[in-house]
Amino acid sequence: MEKAVKSQIGVSSRLSVAPMMDWTDRHCRYLHRLLCRRALLYTEMVTAPALVRGGALHLLEYSPEEHPVALQLGGSEPLELAKAARLASQAGYDEINLNVGCPSDRVQSGAFGAVLMFQPGLVADCVAAMQEAVDVEVTVKCRIGVDDQVAEEALPAFLDRIRSAGCRRVTIHARKAWLQGLSPKENRDIPPLDYDLVLRMKQGFPDLHISINGGITTLAQARSFLDAGLDGVMIGRAAYHDPVSVLADADPVVFGTGTRSDPAEIVHRMIPYIETHLIRGGKLHQISRHMLGLFAGRPGARAWRRMLSEGAHRPGAGPELVLAALAQVPPDEISQAG
Ligand SMILES: Cc1cc2nc3c(=O)[nH]c(=O)nc-3n(C[C@H](O)[C@H](O)[C@H](O)COP(=O)(O)O)c2cc1C
Protein backbone atom coordinates (compact mmCIF):
# COMPACT_ATOMS: atom_id res chain seq x y z
CA MET A 1 0.00 0.00 0.00
CA GLU A 2 1.25 3.45 -0.83
CA LYS A 3 2.50 5.64 1.97
CA ALA A 4 0.37 8.62 2.97
CA VAL A 5 2.45 11.73 2.54
CA LYS A 6 1.91 14.96 4.43
CA SER A 7 1.98 18.02 2.22
CA GLN A 8 1.88 21.49 3.71
CA ILE A 9 2.50 22.96 0.32
CA GLY A 10 -0.96 22.94 -1.23
CA VAL A 11 -1.53 25.69 -3.75
CA SER A 12 1.94 27.18 -3.28
CA SER A 13 3.34 24.87 -5.92
CA ARG A 14 1.40 26.80 -8.57
CA LEU A 15 4.34 29.19 -8.62
CA SER A 16 7.85 28.43 -7.45
CA VAL A 17 11.25 30.07 -7.52
CA ALA A 18 13.81 27.66 -8.96
CA PRO A 19 16.76 26.20 -7.08
CA MET A 20 19.84 28.19 -8.14
CA MET A 21 23.31 27.47 -6.78
CA ASP A 22 24.92 30.47 -5.17
CA TRP A 23 21.77 32.53 -5.77
CA THR A 24 18.80 31.13 -3.84
CA ASP A 25 20.51 31.04 -0.48
CA ARG A 26 18.58 31.76 2.69
CA HIS A 27 18.96 35.54 2.37
CA CYS A 28 17.61 35.52 -1.16
CA ARG A 29 14.70 33.34 -0.09
CA TYR A 30 13.89 35.65 2.81
CA LEU A 31 13.70 38.57 0.38
CA HIS A 32 11.54 36.59 -2.03
CA ARG A 33 9.23 35.59 0.78
CA LEU A 34 8.67 39.23 1.71
CA LEU A 35 7.74 39.92 -1.90
CA CYS A 36 5.35 36.99 -2.15
CA ARG A 37 3.72 35.08 0.70
CA ARG A 38 2.56 32.04 -1.20
CA ALA A 39 5.12 30.96 -3.81
CA LEU A 40 7.12 27.82 -3.07
CA LEU A 41 10.82 28.58 -2.62
CA TYR A 42 13.61 26.14 -3.43
CA THR A 43 17.04 26.06 -1.82
CA GLU A 44 20.25 25.78 -3.76
CA MET A 45 21.16 22.16 -4.39
CA VAL A 46 22.77 20.49 -1.38
CA THR A 47 24.52 17.21 -2.08
CA ALA A 48 23.61 14.15 -0.07
CA PRO A 49 27.31 13.28 0.48
CA ALA A 50 27.93 16.75 1.96
CA LEU A 51 25.16 16.19 4.51
CA VAL A 52 25.64 12.52 5.23
CA ARG A 53 29.39 11.99 4.87
CA GLY A 54 30.53 15.58 5.42
CA GLY A 55 28.16 16.37 8.28
CA ALA A 56 27.60 19.82 6.77
CA LEU A 57 24.34 20.41 8.61
CA HIS A 58 24.79 24.18 8.44
CA LEU A 59 23.69 23.83 4.79
CA LEU A 60 20.20 23.13 6.12
CA GLU A 61 19.82 26.38 8.04
CA TYR A 62 16.97 28.67 7.08
CA SER A 63 14.56 31.16 8.63
CA PRO A 64 11.09 30.02 9.68
CA GLU A 65 9.61 32.88 7.62
CA GLU A 66 10.73 31.08 4.45
CA HIS A 67 8.00 28.42 4.57
CA PRO A 68 6.87 26.88 2.35
CA VAL A 69 10.41 25.95 1.41
CA ALA A 70 11.77 22.89 -0.40
CA LEU A 71 15.26 21.51 -0.06
CA GLN A 72 16.86 20.30 -3.25
CA LEU A 73 19.19 17.33 -2.92
CA GLY A 74 21.80 16.05 -5.34
CA GLY A 75 22.90 12.46 -5.24
CA SER A 76 22.40 9.05 -6.75
CA GLU A 77 22.77 6.56 -3.92
CA PRO A 78 19.34 5.64 -2.55
CA LEU A 79 20.45 4.98 1.02
CA GLU A 80 22.52 8.10 1.25
CA LEU A 81 19.72 10.18 -0.26
CA ALA A 82 17.29 8.64 2.22
CA LYS A 83 19.54 9.68 5.10
CA ALA A 84 19.91 13.17 3.67
CA ALA A 85 16.14 13.43 3.16
CA ARG A 86 15.59 12.45 6.78
CA LEU A 87 17.98 15.17 7.96
CA ALA A 88 16.16 17.69 5.78
CA SER A 89 12.78 16.64 7.05
CA GLN A 90 13.98 16.83 10.65
CA ALA A 91 15.15 20.37 9.86
CA GLY A 92 11.55 21.16 8.92
CA TYR A 93 11.64 21.43 5.13
CA ASP A 94 8.23 21.15 3.50
CA GLU A 95 9.42 19.13 0.50
CA ILE A 96 12.53 17.28 -0.60
CA ASN A 97 13.39 17.61 -4.27
CA LEU A 98 15.82 15.44 -6.21
CA ASN A 99 17.96 17.16 -8.83
CA VAL A 100 17.85 15.33 -12.16
CA GLY A 101 18.47 18.39 -14.28
CA CYS A 102 21.75 19.98 -13.45
CA PRO A 103 24.45 19.36 -16.08
CA SER A 104 27.51 20.86 -14.40
CA ASP A 105 30.80 18.95 -14.58
CA ARG A 106 31.16 18.68 -10.85
CA VAL A 107 27.75 17.15 -10.63
CA GLN A 108 28.33 14.82 -13.59
CA SER A 109 31.46 13.44 -11.98
CA GLY A 110 29.43 12.40 -8.97
CA ALA A 111 26.96 10.64 -11.34
CA PHE A 112 24.03 12.76 -10.41
CA GLY A 113 22.03 15.60 -11.89
CA ALA A 114 20.86 15.44 -15.51
CA VAL A 115 22.93 12.36 -16.33
CA LEU A 116 20.41 10.41 -14.24
CA MET A 117 17.86 10.91 -17.04
CA PHE A 118 19.68 7.89 -18.55
CA GLN A 119 18.89 5.81 -15.46
CA PRO A 120 15.18 6.13 -14.65
CA GLY A 121 15.32 2.89 -12.65
CA LEU A 122 17.99 4.29 -10.35
CA VAL A 123 16.04 7.56 -9.96
CA ALA A 124 12.96 5.52 -9.07
CA ASP A 125 14.99 3.66 -6.42
CA CYS A 126 16.25 6.98 -5.04
CA VAL A 127 12.73 8.45 -4.90
CA ALA A 128 11.32 5.34 -3.24
CA ALA A 129 14.07 5.27 -0.61
CA MET A 130 13.71 8.96 0.12
CA GLN A 131 9.93 8.78 0.34
CA GLU A 132 10.18 5.79 2.64
CA ALA A 133 12.42 7.82 4.96
CA VAL A 134 10.25 10.94 5.29
CA ASP A 135 6.64 12.02 5.64
CA VAL A 136 6.95 15.16 3.54
CA GLU A 137 6.63 15.04 -0.23
CA VAL A 138 9.57 13.88 -2.36
CA THR A 139 9.59 15.51 -5.79
CA VAL A 140 11.84 15.50 -8.85
CA LYS A 141 13.20 18.25 -11.08
CA CYS A 142 14.30 16.99 -14.47
CA ARG A 143 14.91 17.95 -18.09
CA ILE A 144 12.94 16.68 -21.10
CA GLY A 145 15.93 14.49 -21.93
CA VAL A 146 19.69 14.47 -22.35
CA ASP A 147 22.05 14.22 -25.32
CA ASP A 148 20.67 12.02 -28.10
CA GLN A 149 17.67 10.74 -26.18
CA VAL A 150 14.40 11.07 -28.10
CA ALA A 151 12.61 13.29 -25.61
CA GLU A 152 9.11 12.23 -26.76
CA GLU A 153 9.99 8.69 -25.66
CA ALA A 154 12.52 9.18 -22.88
CA LEU A 155 10.48 11.70 -20.90
CA PRO A 156 7.24 9.70 -20.58
CA ALA A 157 9.26 6.56 -19.77
CA PHE A 158 11.08 8.50 -17.06
CA LEU A 159 7.86 9.97 -15.62
CA ASP A 160 6.25 6.56 -15.61
CA ARG A 161 9.10 5.07 -13.58
CA ILE A 162 9.23 7.80 -10.97
CA ARG A 163 5.45 7.83 -10.65
CA SER A 164 5.55 4.09 -9.95
CA ALA A 165 8.09 4.83 -7.22
CA GLY A 166 5.65 7.18 -5.49
CA CYS A 167 6.59 10.56 -6.94
CA ARG A 168 3.47 12.71 -7.38
CA ARG A 169 4.98 16.06 -8.31
CA VAL A 170 7.63 16.88 -10.87
CA THR A 171 9.11 20.02 -12.38
CA ILE A 172 10.28 19.77 -15.96
CA HIS A 173 12.86 22.16 -17.38
CA ALA A 174 11.52 22.18 -20.92
CA ARG A 175 14.83 21.68 -22.72
CA LYS A 176 17.38 18.92 -23.01
CA ALA A 177 20.72 19.03 -21.28
CA TRP A 178 23.65 18.36 -23.57
CA LEU A 179 26.21 16.76 -21.36
CA GLN A 180 29.18 17.22 -23.69
CA GLY A 181 30.46 20.50 -25.03
CA LEU A 182 28.18 23.01 -23.32
CA SER A 183 28.85 24.86 -20.09
CA PRO A 184 26.13 24.76 -17.43
CA LYS A 185 25.22 28.32 -18.39
CA GLU A 186 24.96 27.45 -22.11
CA ASN A 187 22.85 24.46 -21.13
CA ARG A 188 20.27 26.89 -19.74
CA ASP A 189 19.96 28.75 -23.03
CA ILE A 190 21.11 26.82 -26.07
CA PRO A 191 19.11 23.56 -26.18
CA PRO A 192 15.74 24.63 -27.59
CA LEU A 193 12.70 24.91 -25.34
CA ASP A 194 9.85 22.49 -26.03
CA TYR A 195 6.90 23.70 -23.98
CA ASP A 196 4.44 21.65 -26.06
CA LEU A 197 6.09 18.43 -25.00
CA VAL A 198 5.60 19.35 -21.34
CA LEU A 199 1.95 20.22 -22.03
CA ARG A 200 1.52 16.81 -23.68
CA MET A 201 3.00 15.14 -20.59
CA LYS A 202 0.21 16.67 -18.53
CA GLN A 203 -2.31 15.07 -20.88
CA GLY A 204 -0.52 11.72 -20.64
CA PHE A 205 -0.07 11.87 -16.86
CA PRO A 206 -3.16 13.69 -15.56
CA ASP A 207 -2.59 12.42 -12.02
CA LEU A 208 0.94 13.82 -11.84
CA HIS A 209 1.39 17.39 -10.62
CA ILE A 210 3.53 18.91 -13.38
CA SER A 211 5.30 22.26 -13.19
CA ILE A 212 6.95 23.78 -16.22
CA ASN A 213 10.28 25.60 -16.10
CA GLY A 214 12.65 27.32 -18.51
CA GLY A 215 12.67 30.76 -20.10
CA ILE A 216 9.53 32.02 -18.35
CA THR A 217 9.95 35.67 -17.51
CA THR A 218 6.55 37.15 -16.69
CA LEU A 219 3.55 36.41 -14.52
CA ALA A 220 1.34 36.69 -17.61
CA GLN A 221 3.27 33.82 -19.18
CA ALA A 222 2.97 31.87 -15.95
CA ARG A 223 -0.79 32.43 -15.93
CA SER A 224 -1.13 31.22 -19.47
CA PHE A 225 0.62 27.94 -18.65
CA LEU A 226 -1.67 27.45 -15.66
CA ASP A 227 -4.67 28.25 -17.83
CA ALA A 228 -3.42 25.68 -20.36
CA GLY A 229 -3.72 22.98 -17.70
CA LEU A 230 -0.30 22.76 -16.12
CA ASP A 231 -0.28 22.55 -12.34
CA GLY A 232 2.63 24.82 -11.63
CA VAL A 233 5.21 27.20 -13.07
CA MET A 234 8.78 27.51 -11.85
CA ILE A 235 10.72 30.69 -12.57
CA GLY A 236 14.47 30.99 -12.06
CA ARG A 237 16.60 33.76 -13.51
CA ALA A 238 13.81 36.29 -14.05
CA ALA A 239 12.74 35.95 -10.41
CA TYR A 240 16.29 36.61 -9.32
CA HIS A 241 17.15 39.51 -11.62
CA ASP A 242 13.77 41.25 -11.53
CA PRO A 243 12.10 39.94 -8.39
CA VAL A 244 9.51 42.70 -8.26
CA SER A 245 8.10 42.02 -11.75
CA VAL A 246 7.84 38.31 -11.04
CA LEU A 247 6.96 38.13 -7.36
CA ALA A 248 5.42 41.40 -6.15
CA ASP A 249 2.14 40.73 -7.96
CA ALA A 250 2.14 36.98 -7.61
CA ASP A 251 -0.11 36.72 -4.54
CA PRO A 252 -3.06 38.45 -6.22
CA VAL A 253 -2.37 37.28 -9.78
CA VAL A 254 -1.50 33.61 -9.23
CA PHE A 255 -3.02 32.83 -5.84
CA GLY A 256 -5.98 35.20 -5.88
CA THR A 257 -5.17 36.54 -2.43
CA GLY A 258 -3.36 39.47 -0.84
CA THR A 259 -2.08 42.61 -2.50
CA ARG A 260 0.95 43.53 -4.55
CA SER A 261 3.98 44.30 -2.45
CA ASP A 262 5.82 47.59 -2.62
CA PRO A 263 9.60 47.29 -3.11
CA ALA A 264 10.45 50.32 -0.94
CA GLU A 265 8.47 48.82 1.90
CA ILE A 266 10.28 45.52 1.32
CA VAL A 267 13.60 47.34 1.66
CA HIS A 268 12.47 48.69 5.02
CA ARG A 269 11.32 45.24 6.08
CA MET A 270 14.75 43.83 5.24
CA ILE A 271 16.45 46.19 7.70
CA PRO A 272 15.77 44.19 10.91
CA TYR A 273 16.85 41.02 9.11
CA ILE A 274 20.07 42.73 8.03
CA GLU A 275 20.67 44.02 11.56
CA THR A 276 20.31 40.54 13.03
CA HIS A 277 22.70 39.14 10.42
CA LEU A 278 25.31 41.80 11.20
CA ILE A 279 25.01 41.23 14.94
CA ARG A 280 25.73 37.54 14.31
CA GLY A 281 28.92 38.49 12.49
CA GLY A 282 27.58 38.39 8.92
CA LYS A 283 28.37 40.93 6.20
CA LEU A 284 25.95 43.30 4.50
CA HIS A 285 26.91 42.26 0.98
CA GLN A 286 25.85 38.67 1.69
CA ILE A 287 22.28 39.96 1.82
CA SER A 288 22.37 43.12 -0.28
CA ARG A 289 23.70 41.32 -3.36
CA HIS A 290 20.28 39.69 -3.70
CA MET A 291 18.55 43.07 -3.44
CA LEU A 292 20.31 44.68 -6.41
CA GLY A 293 17.47 43.87 -8.82
CA LEU A 294 14.68 45.32 -6.67
CA PHE A 295 14.24 48.38 -8.90
CA ALA A 296 15.27 46.70 -12.18
CA GLY A 297 14.22 48.64 -15.25
CA ARG A 298 13.01 51.65 -13.29
CA PRO A 299 14.45 55.15 -12.82
CA GLY A 300 16.94 55.18 -9.98
CA ALA A 301 17.79 51.50 -10.49
CA ARG A 302 21.34 52.20 -11.58
CA ALA A 303 22.12 54.49 -8.64
CA TRP A 304 20.55 51.96 -6.24
CA ARG A 305 22.65 49.13 -7.65
CA ARG A 306 25.85 51.15 -7.78
CA MET A 307 25.61 52.47 -4.27
CA LEU A 308 24.82 49.06 -2.83
CA SER A 309 27.35 47.09 -4.83
CA GLU A 310 30.20 49.57 -4.26
CA GLY A 311 29.51 50.19 -0.60
CA ALA A 312 28.34 46.89 0.81
CA HIS A 313 31.83 45.34 0.94
CA ARG A 314 33.28 48.22 2.96
CA PRO A 315 34.03 47.49 6.61
CA GLY A 316 31.15 48.52 8.84
CA ALA A 317 28.62 48.78 5.98
CA GLY A 318 25.11 48.38 7.36
CA PRO A 319 21.46 49.43 7.10
CA GLU A 320 22.35 53.14 6.62
CA LEU A 321 23.88 52.28 3.26
CA VAL A 322 20.73 50.45 2.18
CA LEU A 323 18.55 53.40 3.20
CA ALA A 324 20.88 55.87 1.47
CA ALA A 325 20.69 53.79 -1.69
CA LEU A 326 16.91 53.74 -1.42
CA ALA A 327 16.95 57.53 -1.26
CA GLN A 328 18.42 57.44 -4.80
CA VAL A 329 15.18 56.00 -6.14
CA PRO A 330 12.68 58.75 -7.03
CA PRO A 331 9.72 58.57 -4.59
CA ASP A 332 7.18 58.53 -7.43
CA GLU A 333 8.88 55.48 -8.83
CA ILE A 334 8.78 53.78 -5.50
CA SER A 335 5.03 54.02 -5.25
CA GLN A 336 4.53 52.92 -8.89
CA ALA A 337 7.16 50.23 -8.92
CA GLY A 338 5.20 47.57 -7.08
C1 LIG B 1 22.95 30.46 -11.22
C2 LIG B 1 22.08 29.26 -11.45
C3 LIG B 1 22.23 28.15 -10.63
C4 LIG B 1 21.40 27.03 -10.80
N5 LIG B 1 21.50 25.99 -9.91
C6 LIG B 1 20.62 24.96 -9.99
C7 LIG B 1 20.57 23.95 -8.99
O8 LIG B 1 21.29 23.97 -7.99
N9 LIG B 1 19.67 22.94 -9.15
C10 LIG B 1 18.82 22.88 -10.22
O11 LIG B 1 18.01 21.95 -10.33
N12 LIG B 1 18.84 23.83 -11.17
C13 LIG B 1 19.69 24.86 -11.06
N14 LIG B 1 19.65 25.88 -11.98
C15 LIG B 1 18.65 25.81 -13.06
C16 LIG B 1 17.36 26.52 -12.65
O17 LIG B 1 16.76 25.88 -11.54
C18 LIG B 1 16.35 26.54 -13.82
O19 LIG B 1 16.01 25.21 -14.14
C20 LIG B 1 16.91 27.20 -15.07
O21 LIG B 1 17.58 28.43 -14.75
C22 LIG B 1 15.81 27.48 -16.10
O23 LIG B 1 14.81 28.31 -15.56
P24 LIG B 1 14.77 29.90 -15.89
O25 LIG B 1 14.84 30.04 -17.40
O26 LIG B 1 13.47 30.37 -15.33
O27 LIG B 1 15.97 30.52 -15.25
C28 LIG B 1 20.45 27.00 -11.83
C29 LIG B 1 20.31 28.14 -12.66
C30 LIG B 1 21.11 29.26 -12.46
C31 LIG B 1 20.91 30.47 -13.34
- Cα radius of gyration rounded to whole Å, the chain: 20
Clarify whether residues 178 and 241 are in a common domain.
yes
Q: How far apart are CA 68 and CA 9, in angstroms?
A: 6
Count of C-beta atoms within a 10 Å radius of residue 166: 17
Clarify whether residues 110 and 93 are in a common domain.
yes
Q: Which pLDDT score is estimated for 338?
A: 42
CA-nearest residue for atom 14, ligand 1, is 20
Q: Looking at the domain assignment, is residue 4 inside a domain?
A: no
Judge if the beta carbon of residue 114 lies within 6 A of ligand 1: no
CA-nearest residue for atom 7, ligand 1, is 20
Q: Which atom of ligand 1 is nearest to the CA of 235?
A: 26
Clarify whether residues 192 and 127 are in a common domain.
yes
Q: Which pLDDT score is estimated for 127?
A: 98
Domain boundary among 255, 276, 303: 255
Clarify whether residues 310 and 198 are in a common domain.
no
Q: Are strands 40-47 and 137-143 parallel, antiparallel or unpaired?
A: unpaired
Clarify whether residues 213 and 268 are in a common domain.
no
Q: How far is the CA of 18 from the centre of ligand 1 (A)?
A: 6
pTM over 0.85: yes
Q: Which pLDDT score is estimated for 105?
A: 63
Q: Which residues are catalytic?
A: 102
| CATH of residue 311 | 1.20.120.1460
Judge if the beta carbon of residue 216 lies within 6 A of ligand 1: yes
| CATH of residue 120 | 3.20.20.70
Q: Which pLDDT score is estimated for 181?
A: 86
Q: Looking at the domain assignment, is residue 3 inside a domain?
A: no
Clarify whether residues 297 and 176 are in a common domain.
no
Clarify whether residues 104 and 173 are in a common domain.
yes
Clarify whether residues 236 and 302 are in a common domain.
no
Contacts of 93 (CB under 8 A, 6+ apart): 43, 60, 62, 69, 70, 71, 136
Number of domains comprising the chain: 2
Contact between 212 and 230 under an 8 Å Cβ cutoff? The reply is yes
Q: How far is the CA of 44 from the centre of ligand 1 (A)?
A: 9
Clarify whether residues 230 and 330 are in a common domain.
no
Residue 72 annotated as binding? yes
Judge if the beta carbon of residue 102 lies within 6 A of ligand 1: yes
Q: What residues make up the domain containing 271?
A: 263-337
Clarify whether residues 200 and 267 are in a common domain.
no
Clarify whether residues 193 and 307 are in a common domain.
no
State the SS3 of the chain: CCCCCECCCHHHHHEEECCCCCCCCHHHHHHHHHHCCCCEEEEEEEEHHHHHCCCCHHHHCCCHHHCCEEEEEECCCHHHHHHHHHHHHHCCCCEEEEEECCCCHHHHHCCCCHHHHHCHHHHHHHHHHHHHHCCEEEEEEEECCECCCCHHHHHHHHHHHHHHCCCCEEEEECCCECCCCCCCCHHHCCCCCCHHHHHHHHHHCCCCEEEEECCCCCHHHHHHHHHCCCCEEEECHHHHHCHHHHHHCHHHHHHCCCCCCCHHHHHHHHHHHHHHHHHCCCCHHHHHHHHHHHHCCCCCHHHHHHHHHHHCCCCCCCHHHHHHHHCCCCHHHHHHHC
Clarify whether residues 84 and 128 are in a common domain.
yes
Per-residue pLDDT tens digits of the chain, which is 338 residues long: 567 776 667 899 999 999 999 999 999 999 999 999 999 999 999 999 999 999 999 999 999 999 999 999 999 999 999 999 999 999 999 999 999 999 876 655 567 899 999 999 999 999 999 999 999 999 999 999 999 999 999 999 999 999 999 999 999 999 999 998 899 999 999 999 999 999 999 999 999 999 999 999 999 999 999 999 999 999 999 999 999 999 999 999 999 999 999 999 999 999 999 999 999 999 999 999 999 999 999 899 999 999 999 999 999 999 999 999 999 999 765 554 44
Domain boundary among 201, 231, 255: 255
Contacts of 291 (CB under 8 A, 6+ apart): 31, 267, 270, 308, 322
Nearest to 78 by CA among 98, 104, 50: 98
Judge if the beta carbon of residue 319 lies within 6 A of ligand 1: no
Nearest to 248 by CA among 33, 70, 42: 33
Distance of CA 111 to the CA centre of its chain: 22
Domain boundary among 255, 289, 308: 255
Judge if the beta carbon of residue 117 lies within 6 A of ligand 1: no
